[in-house]
Amino acid sequence: MSSGTAHAAVRRPRFFTPGSIAVCAVAAVGAAVTLARFALGLGATTNLTDANPWGIWIAIDVACGVALAAGGFTTAFLVHILHRERYHPLLRPALLTAMIGYTFVAIGVATDLGRWWALWHVPLPKMWQPNSVLFEVAMCVMCYLNVLYIEFLPVVCERFRGRVRLPGRLAALDHPAERLLAILDATLGRVITVFVILGIVLSCMHQSSLGTLMVITGAKLHPLWQTPFLPLMFLLSAFSVGFPMVIFESVLASRSLRLPPEREVLSMLARIVPVVLGVYLLARVMDLLSRHVLGLAFDGSRHGWLFLTEVTLGVLAPFAIFTNRRLRARVGWLFAGASMVIGGVVLNRLNVFLLCYTPVHAGAAYSPAWTEYAVTAGYIAIIVLLYRFIVLNFPVVEALEHRSPLAEPSAELSRPVLKPHTRPAASRRRPLRPRPDRKISHGPTGSAP
Amino acid sequence: MSAPCASTVTSRPSSQTREPDRAQPTTSRRAFLGISVGATLAAPALAAAGEHASALHQDRMGVLVDLTECVGCRRCEWACCDANGLPHGPLHEYDDQTVFEARRYPSPNQLTVVNRAKSDQTEREPVHLKVQCMHCDKPACVSACLVGAMQKDPDGPVHYDASRCIGCRYCMVACPFEILSYEYERSLAPRVRKCELCRDRTRDGKLPACVEMCPVEALTYGRRSELLALAHDKIARHPDRYTDHIYGEHEAGGTSWLYIAGRDFASLGLPTVGPKSPAALSEAIQHGIFRGFAVPIVIAGLLGAVNHLTKEDHK
Amino acid sequence: MNAPQALLLTLFLALAWTPPGERLHGAPTQPPAPERAPPAPPARPAPRAHETTPVPAFSEPGPDVAIIDDLVNHYGPVTFDHRLHERMSEITGDCANCHHETEANEPITGCAECHPRERNAADPGVTSLRGAIHRQCLDCHKDWSRANSCGFCHEEAGAAMHGPEDFGEFVGATPTHISPAQSYTYDTAREGLPVVTFHHEDHVQAFGLSCADCHLNDDCERCHGAGMARQTVVRERDCATCHADTDCVDCHDLTEKARFDHAERTGWDLGAAHAAVSCEDCHGPGHGAALTVPASLRCLACHQEAHGVALDALEHPVTLAGSHAYFECVQCHRGSAEGPRSTCVECHDDREFPAWSPGLAGW
């Protein structure tokens, strides 16, 4: 990496900055309101009604959360299945995003569940109800969450191998722990592809089923969105938002961590986006035409405008940006394009789950309570903080690993466990592009002795 | 597949269901077997295999509501609260007509409510409309519930089992009549609340509480087939009195509660619902994609193959 | 305590001694019901008032009062004033209004003869006795008073009996389910001109009458609390209230008289627009006087002043210049506002029309 030496002397960023402290405040408020929700119940903390039983916790935390975590499986597909090693630097950040994202999808669901303490009913075979689309979604998300944790394990192994220093008497366990890590690392290295495949299959299943979820609402969902092909639309839009999410998050992370953006890799990644976007748009338009409802988009109604916004800003505009070679080469435009795709998919999920879902009985319209916003914002803040913490303490962002951890004050609170690497950091460097003469290994095998 | 409940048989909507696919999902890739999540992954396939044809009883029961008879006395509301142990005042409090000023919906403390439809010019008197769970033959809520907390009894009632419920409220989203209500105000163990067609009373040979109470017998409890015949007969005999439409005969795939009235149901505030159960399409899609678990296995196989082939390229 | 209350109380006390099962028709004045085979259960719903065919009233004497108390659970018994309803039924569908299974000149069929005490699960189409009685009562009562409160008929435990004064809300109310005939024809036995035609609907509409305006001493009175005596409208007196100065032949005739026709009687066809105008708007308040149109209420009363716009600017196509300004409207608008108008040549036969049009220069 060209900038590696230039930044070598720069200290690793601290966890706490004015920005992250502000995010911490949002997270704290969110956490407090979450506690209130569990103590006082949904009635006290949400504006949910019998006509609108699902609010922003489902629409944003769950529906958008699942979609935006699509970067994990799409990047895994690119790197692990297609062996496009040049994208390797993006893999672990994407995986991390997906892992934290799905963790908070689960937490978001639990927050919204009236009887959250009964969540363990879902995997119980005697409770299975296979006709339920939600059953399929829940099972897949649960499995996928575990798969994500397993896929992330190599990072944990890498972080701790050779550096297990348990405090006090527990020090006796240092050796067994090291052994365990070694075994885990070696095993995972052999079977990781299986989990990657499992993860992709599970993702495809529940990303699409998330769309099927709303098919049962029938006429309650506006015809511009209600279609038997809703699962396909959800799957394609999840595909389309995967890489933009990686771009978005990579640009943001490198700015926040004061790293140079991975311009070249992102630019290459961006080439793929319009292909997926094009397929998505085509499917969308064909569906609308076949159902003779495309005209509704132009009837001047609120729904029509939402649809046009979603398609124009979320699909057409980024399509134009990402197909333009010159724009694609600029980080600013990459970021803008990626943000648009993300905005489009978020708007799509909001439209389907909230904005264009019209209850049968016209009562008072649902507008979220401030507490609902607080929880959602809090969860997003915690996701950001967790991401920052893990990136700063685990070998996730390669560029960051090139900096000498020794340059940091050892007393820094955010990295109490970080110890000097036993091996030179350079030995774990990965090439940006695959070298034709070398079989590229990935993940744990890279650090296997 | 495991029997969900000892006392009731879970019925599966039948129109879109296919012959039971008894073939076990053969299997998954060798690698899956050792992994516990692999087993859970196979769950939908196993479960789908257990799907069986409709268990609806031919003689299932229902209630016919003759809206031309209803006088809006709200005694059914009282009887419902009384039978379900819900808080309620003395009978005479239900003489209060001012409640008709605002449209009401069932709530956790009132599983049925009577509304007064704005009378149109051609009518002699206003029309009153009692609403409660329609007890669909192919209930969307039953199809939606992921833990089987909603179940359709073969003899009619759609039953909610709080001990299974996790509180996701997907049933409420799915219900085409939007009739379910939720105990949002309960913090720890909120329940979905709905009419249960007095399944405990009818088991004992009693009438549903509202039916028993109705002074003008606007409500008739009986076999759904007979009620339909009766309704058709009434409409044929008094074409001037009834519109030729039995609400619930076909709505949402048919419901246990049936309505006849002197004017069209949309103007009375009943939602216009198509003749297919909303669950039919979503289940068809769901089972179509996951039938025999073929699609996911094929995808997994393809991914494995691509992985292998591209790996070769790099050698 | 007034007379009706005393009578009711007496009846109630008498009934209190009869066993419950017999009470529905157990009034003391009723002879024992003749034994008869129960008719086939009616598969059809009970018809409503406007669907019934009248059964001649009093084909057998009915009870005065019935205490309905053997079906009660949530409420106390009902005191049903059978005689009151019997008499009211004369102006509607007679006995068949309620006794819908009774054929003409047949003995009256009681409710319990067809409607079983318990609902028959095997035949959901048959209404139980309780449902049938409630339907019969409420079908009219919800129309009349929009009242569906149970306490209207039922007594609370230990409460006083209903007296006629409890029915005050009916006073002056127009029973909406009663559909009197458009016209009635009477044979008065008057020599020479026996037939009197009474156009009931026209009187109600034209003079805005309510039932009690004429039927002051009719059956309604009984419910409304003024007296017990049953009297119908006394034609000689009640008609004469308005028709004191009317010539005999205006009402009496050899045959049925046609309805009042404004065009025929006055030569002025009201047409569609003026038919909607009330009589008083043109003829002034009160009736019975010479029916002329006072100057203050003629055409311009509405067509100029009411609109606040000059008539010619508003709609009159012809400028009424010169001497024309003094014309009465009806001088040109003859027979009807919508009918034929006088044309210029009727007076000005020396001018060609339309070359010479009113209002043009040179006229």
CA gap C113, C124 in Å, rounded: 17
Residue in chain C lying closest to B230 (CA):
C125
Name the nearest CA neighbour of B202 among B266, B157, B165.
B157
Name the nearest CA neighbour of A395 among A421, A367, A431, A359.
A421
**Hey, what amino acid is at C356?**
W
Q: Are C144 and C13 in a shared domain?
A: yes
CA gap A208, B286 in Å, rounded: 10
Domain count of chain C? 3
Give, to the nearest 10 degrees, the angle between helix A88-112 and helix A263-290.
50
Structural domain contains residue C312: yes
Residue ranges making up the domain that contains C209: 184-253
Q: Are C18 and C119 in a shared domain?
A: yes
Q: Are C286 and C247 in a shared domain?
A: no
pLDDT-wise least confident of A288-302, C208-222, C292-306: C208-222
**Given phi > 0 = left and psi -120 to 50 = alpha, else beta, which region is B157?**
beta
Do residues B76 and B130 make contact, with C-beta atoms less than 8 angstroms apart?
yes
Residue A213: predicted pLDDT: 94
Q: Are C27 and C160 in a shared domain?
A: yes
pLDDT-wise least confident of B8-22, B71-85, C265-279: B8-22
Chain B contact present for C157, CB below 8 A: no
pLDDT in tens, C33-60: 334 333 333 334 454 444 444 445 445 6
Q: C335 pLDDT band (50/70/90 cuts)? A: confident
Q: C339 pLDDT band (50/70/90 cuts)? A: low
- Helix ranges (DSSP H) in A11-132: 18-40, 42-45, 56, 65-68, 71-76, 88-112
Name the nearest CA neighbour of B179 among B117, B101, B84, B108.
B108
**Yes or no, beta carbons of A54 and B169 under 8 Å apart:** yes
Q: What are phi and psi of A395, to 5 degrees?
A: -75, 80
For A64-90, give one letter per residue: b (16+ CB within 10 A) or e. Answer: bbbbbbbbbbbbbbbbbbbbbbbbbbb
User: Is pLDDT larger for residue B101 or for residue A432?
Assistant: B101
**Yes or no, beta carbons of C124 and B222 under 8 Å apart:** yes
Q: Are C208 and C306 in a shared domain?
A: no
CA gap A256, C293 in Å, rounded: 95
Q: What is the CATH number of domain B1-17+59-276?
A: 3.30.70.20
Q: Are C165 and C188 in a shared domain?
A: no
Distance from the Cα of C148 to chain B's closest Cα (Å) equals 5
- Which residues does A107 contact at the CB level (< 8 Å), separation at least 6? A379
Do residues C119 and C125 make contact, with C-beta atoms less than 8 angstroms apart?
no
| Of C253, C277, C302, the domain-final residue | C253
Structural domain contains residue C262: no
Chain B contact present for C124, CB below 8 A: yes
Distance from the Cα of B91 to chain C's closest Cα (Å) equals 8
Residue A413: predicted pLDDT: 38
Structural domain contains residue C69: yes
DSSP string, A213-260: TTGGGGGGB-TTT--TTHHHHHHHHHHHHHHHHHHHHHHHHHHHTT--
Instruction: Choose the closest CB to B69 out of C135, C146, C151.
Output: C135
User: Is pLDDT larger for residue C206 or for residue C30?
Assistant: C206
Instruction: Choose the closest CB to B47 out of A117, A130, A138.
Output: A130
CA gap C2, C6 in Å, rounded: 6
Q: Are C14 and C147 in a shared domain?
A: yes
Average pLDDT of the residues of chain C:
65
Q: Are C33 and C128 in a shared domain?
A: yes
Residue C21: predicted pLDDT: 36
CA gap C157, C77 in Å, rounded: 8
CA gap A234, A426 in Å, rounded: 42
Pairing of strands B181-182, B158-160: unpaired
* Burial of residue C165, with CB atoms counted within 10 A of its CB: 0-12 exposed, 13-18 middle, 19 or more buried: exposed
User: Is pLDDT larger for residue B309 or for residue C328?
Assistant: B309
User: ∠ CA C159-C163-C168 to the nearest 5 degrees?
Assistant: 115
- Which residues does C231 contact at the CB level (< 8 Å), separation at least 6? C217, C218, C221
Chain C contact present for B88, CB below 8 A: no
Q: What are phi and psi of A318, to 5 degrees?
A: -65, -30
**Yes or no, beta carbons of A440 and B314 under 8 Å apart:** yes
Structural domain contains residue C325: yes
Digits of tens for pLDDT over chain A (449 positions)?
333 344 444 566 788 888 889 999 999 999 999 999 999 999 999 999 999 999 999 999 999 999 999 999 999 999 999 988 889 889 999 999 999 999 999 999 999 999 999 999 999 999 999 899 999 999 999 999 999 999 999 999 888 888 888 888 888 888 888 888 988 888 888 888 899 999 999 999 999 999 999 999 998 999 999 999 999 999 999 999 999 999 999 999 888 888 888 888 999 999 999 999 999 999 999 999 999 999 999 999 999 999 999 999 999 999 999 999 999 889 999 999 999 999 999 999 999 999 999 998 877 789 999 999 999 999 999 999 999 999 988 988 877 766 544 334 333 333 334 344 444 434 344 444 444 444 444 444 333 33
| Residue written as token pair 């609340």 | B193
Do residues A82 and A434 make contact, with C-beta atoms less than 8 angstroms apart?
no
Size of interface B-C (CB pairs under 8 A): 64
CA gap C111, C101 in Å, rounded: 9
How many Cα atoms occupy the beta-carbon half-sphere of B71 within 13 Å? 27
**Domains defined along chain A, listed by start:** 18-426 (1.20.1630.10)
Percent of chain B residues past pLDDT 90, beyond the cut: 56
In this prediction, residues C356-361 reach a mean pLDDT of 57
In this prediction, residues C122-138 reach a mean pLDDT of 86
Residue C184: predicted pLDDT: 79
What subunits touch chain C, counting only 3 or more CB pairs under 8 A?
B
| Residue written as token pair 């220093």 | A165
**Yes or no, beta carbons of B226 and C124 under 8 Å apart:** yes
Q: Are C117 and C249 in a shared domain?
A: no
Q: Per 3-state DSSP, what percentage of chain A is helix, strand, and coil (rounded to 5)?
A: 70, 0, 30
**Interface ipTM:** 0.84
C-alpha separations of A310 from A307, A315, A316, A349 in Å: 5, 7, 9, 10
Chain B contact present for A326, CB below 8 A: no
Chain C contact present for B214, CB below 8 A: yes
**Any idea where the domains of chain B sit in the sequence?**
1-17+59-276, 19-51+282-315
Q: Are C21 and C132 in a shared domain?
A: yes
Distance from the Cα of B215 to chain C's closest Cα (Å) equals 6
CA gap C127, C138 in Å, rounded: 15
Choose from B88, B100, B121, B125 for mutation: most chain C CBs within 10 A. Answer: B125
**Hey, what amino acid is at C162?**
H
Q: Which residues on chain B are in Cβ contact (under 8 Å) with C74?
A: 91, 213
Element of type H or E holding B137: none
Structural domain contains residue C178: no
**Yes or no, beta carbons of B2 and A440 under 8 Å apart:** no
User: Is pLDDT larger for residue C97 or for residue B14?
Assistant: C97
* Burial of residue C151, with CB atoms counted within 10 A of its CB: 0-12 exposed, 13-18 middle, 19 or more buried: middle
Q: Which residues on chain A are in Cβ contact (under 8 Å) with B177?
A: 360
Structural domain contains residue C360: no
Q: Are C235 and C143 in a shared domain?
A: no
Structural domain contains residue C289: yes
Q: Are C241 and C337 in a shared domain?
A: no
Instruction: Choose the closest CB to B237 out of C44, C138, C146.
Output: C44
**Yes or no, beta carbons of B146 and A138 under 8 Å apart:** yes
Residue in chain C lying closest to B124 (CA):
C143
| Of C170, C193, C221, the domain-final residue | C170
Q: Which residues on chain C are in Cβ contact (under 8 Å) with B207?
A: 119
| Of C117, C146, C170, the domain-final residue | C170
Element of type H or E holding C130: helix C129-145
